[in-house]
A = this chain, B = another copy of it.
Amino acid sequence: MATVITRITAHDFRYKLGEGAGSDAVHRNPQYGYGATHLETEGSLSGTGIAYTLGGGTQLVTEAITLLAEPLVGREIEELMADFGAFQRSIAEHGQVRWLGPHKGVIHLALASITNACFDLWAKARGVPLWKLLLDLSPEEVVRLVDFSYLDDVLTRDEACAILREKVGSRGLREEVLQRGYPGYDTSVGWFAYSDEMIVENARRAVDAGFTAMKLKVGSPNPEDDVRRAVLVRQAVGEDVNLMVDANQAWSVPLALEVCQRLAPVKLGWVEEPTQPDDVLGHRTIAQAIAPVPVAVGETVSNRVLWKNFLQAGAVGIVQADCTRLAGISEYLAVAILATKYPVKVIPHVGDMGQMHHHLVFFNHIALGHEVQFLEYIPHLRKHFTTPAVVRDGAYQLPQEPGCSTGLKALENV
């Protein structure tokens, strides 16, 4: 049965957070927001895609969605997804709008939202969850979802296809994760504005809930505060818990080197976003200085070309690619495939609160052979999703509902 897109609407959703929640050294008072794309069809099926924001300016993303999504009207979803890489490229390379990026910022976030809506509709049309949709595709079908342009010097489409093919035979060895679930880590332990008492209490509670990894915001104007808070959490949870810190770009390169040295005794799992995300060579300097502690980066890395540079330069250890920052699930796949060629771990940032990514990490492991790690868990928007991700004993459970789990309650009444 043909599933034809008949109407596209764009939506600006913003959610107030609890006192101090979501705060970091650079974004002191965020809202969480989504520029959402809603695809309607002749039948009852619809698709929802999201791109993540921090509230302010979300209307720019929705306006860009309206501008760019128009060629989708009248397209049949199977036919569209059979060569989605070409379609995505045609939008990304729009002869006039391209100038406003290229491949970054507002227009790229809009493309993320549009792309994710197409995947959601496609999975629903097939009646399967995203992870199963992707795992059931042939290597040839997977690579046709992806725009590989500008990657040729490190990864061609044929090579990507070969990487996928090479892993097919051993998939059975990795499918156990579908039963076990995928471990999570707790990001909400140590928001920047939380008091010392709160972060200690949250850290203990996270351990009680089954988490073995958690994150603390750093980047204080006074580095002493970072050290004190990291030591407090380390003391509260013991040596066996994986404790990561996140500076959210608060540091210059020299300051990052200085503060990381002072944090070293705390034995960090990683240092996240030490400085501005376009600074590939700065990240390399920091990565070399703090090794073997890895540098994590990704929530603000705009596109596959920057990822190529991060990987080529050895500037990243933890690839936090996010399909609500990149041009959706398809560009995420490009980065996840590319990352198999480098000595890195892929641990997505979850601008989607893990909704799509808790599908994608199963694909990462089974189809691409990326090690099972842990996926970021942020519960603040649970009540706004129609099928919020389920985390039990510190692990994401395998989603069962058709689609990408991006349904938003606010769209049910649209």
Chain A residues with a Cβ under 8 A of chain B: 26-31, 52-57, 59-61, 63-64, 67, 93-109, 149-153, 249, 252-255, 275-282, 285, 300, 302-303, 305-306, 308-309, 312-313
CA gap between A224 and B107 in the complex, in Å: 34
CA gap between A108 and B95 in the complex, in Å: 20
A28 to chain B, nearest CB (A): 5
CA gap between A149 and B251 in the complex, in Å: 9
CA gap between A29 and B97 in the complex, in Å: 11
B150 touches A279 (CB 8 A): yes
A350 to chain B, nearest CB (A): 15
CA gap between A336 and B249 in the complex, in Å: 24
A60 touches B57 (CB 8 A): no
CA gap between A152 and B250 in the complex, in Å: 13
CA gap between A64 and B57 in the complex, in Å: 8
Interface centre among A98, A102, A278 (most CB of B within 10 A): A278
A62 to chain B, nearest CB (A): 11
Contact of A153 among B29, B152, B285 (CB under 8 A): B285
B98 touches A105 (CB 8 A): no
CA gap between A56 and B91 in the complex, in Å: 13
Contact of A106 among B60, B277, B285 (CB under 8 A): B60
Number of copies: 2
Chain B residues positioned under 8 Å from A308 (CB to CB): 279, 281-282
Chain B residues positioned under 8 Å from A103 (CB to CB): 276, 278
B302 touches A96 (CB 8 A): no
Given A26-B93, A150-B252, A309-B280, residue A107 in contact with residue B64 (CB < 8 A): no
Contact of A27 among B95, B281, B300 (CB under 8 A): B95
Chain B residues positioned under 8 Å from A305 (CB to CB): 276, 278-279, 282
Contact of A57 among B97, B253, B285 (CB under 8 A): B97
A126 to chain B, nearest CB (A): 33
Q: List 28 A-B contacts (CB under 8 A).
A: A26-B93, A27-B95, A28-B95, A29-B95, A53-B100, A54-B95, A54-B99, A56-B96, A56-B97, A57-B67, A57-B97, A59-B63, A60-B67, A60-B100, A60-B107, A61-B100, A102-B249, A103-B278, A106-B106, A150-B276, A152-B254, A152-B255, A153-B252, A276-B305, A278-B303, A278-B305, A281-B308, A282-B305
A312 touches B28 (CB 8 A): no
Chain B residues positioned under 8 Å from A255 (CB to CB): 152
CA gap between A278 and B150 in the complex, in Å: 10
Interface centre among A61, A106, A277, A285 (most CB of B within 10 A): A106
A98 touches B60 (CB 8 A): no
Known A60-B60, A150-B276, A278-B278; further 18 A-B contacts with Cβ < 8 A:
A27-B96, A27-B99, A30-B99, A54-B95, A55-B96, A56-B94, A56-B95, A60-B100, A99-B300, A104-B104, A149-B252, A150-B279, A152-B255, A153-B252, A153-B285, A278-B305, A280-B309, A282-B309
A105 touches B100 (CB 8 A): yes
Chain B residues positioned under 8 Å from A28 (CB to CB): 95
CA gap between A26 and B312 in the complex, in Å: 26
